[in-house]
Amino acid sequence: MIQHLYTFMKIEELGKRIPEYGPTYPISGYIDAFHESLAHCKLNGKNIDLRIDGWLLREDALKLYEMAYFCQEAILELGTYHGLSTYIMAQAAQNSPYEKSITSVDLSLDALAVARKNLRGLNVNLICAKAEEIIKDLETQRNRFALAFVDLSYSYEPVYHVCKEIDAVILSGGFILLHDWNDVRNGKDPDYGVYHAARDGLKQGRWEFNGCYGCTALYRRI
């Protein structure tokens, strides 16, 4: 595994630089044609445009595809919205040599209805629930995941509670990818707090920072 520890940022650095995509797994170039397409697709402002509403920088999308592609166990997503990130992970799973399931959770039935249409034909289990509650249910059911993409909110409290509890359902050596971690509004705007939520919620000694890509941060469960 390749770590990009130099990409860690102090609070005053957030949003002032956007770290480029770099591989965690030892690959050269792009994984496949879909991965490469994410580097060249149209943009809507700064975000990729795959005709699905959502907010992902190129660097975010490239890292998300890579992590989902090489993941060898189940994947959990907290925050489906209209399914942009879910679509990328489902394509990665479909193209990957490793069989895996994807469970995506969102609090909005309306958002999930749109996502279901956008994900037609792809193997994704969509669930309407609160993130904290589904983590407890998954733990009770002994469901474990090798990758979690956390994008349910950019506010401190909901992300903090997820970070505090998520190690109960992540396998040793597994990863979480946190969206909106590298955002200048963290610590300045009261509605933004992903950076601090990760710092305060992820248990010391159980998680290590592996890199920042775009606005996402990758942590590995020790």
The values of phi and psi at residue 175, to 5°, are: -125, 155
pLDDT of residue 39: 98
CB atoms within 10 A of CB 133: 11
The values of phi and psi at residue 158, to 5°, are: -65, -35
pLDDT of residue 100: 97
When pLDDT is cut at 50, 70 and 90, the band that residue 51 belongs to is very high
When pLDDT is cut at 50, 70 and 90, the band that residue 187 belongs to is confident
**89-98 per-position pLDDT tens digit:** 999 999 999 9
Q: What is the CATH number of the domain that holds 212?
A: 3.40.50.150
The model carries a pTM of 0.97
Q: Cα(107)–Cα(126) distance, rounded to whole angstroms?
A: 11
Contact 84, 110 (CB under 8 A): no
Contact 68, 146 (CB under 8 A): no
User: How confident is the model over 126-137, as a mean pLDDT?
Assistant: 96
What domain range is 175 assigned to? Answer: 5-221
pLDDT, greater one: 69 or 187: 69
**81-125 per-position pLDDT tens digit:** 999 999 999 999 999 999 999 999 999 999 999 999 999 999 999
- The one-letter code for the residue type at 34 is F
pLDDT of residue 71: 98
- Tally the domains of the chain: 1
Q: Cα(221)–Cα(94) distance, rounded to whole angstroms?
A: 25
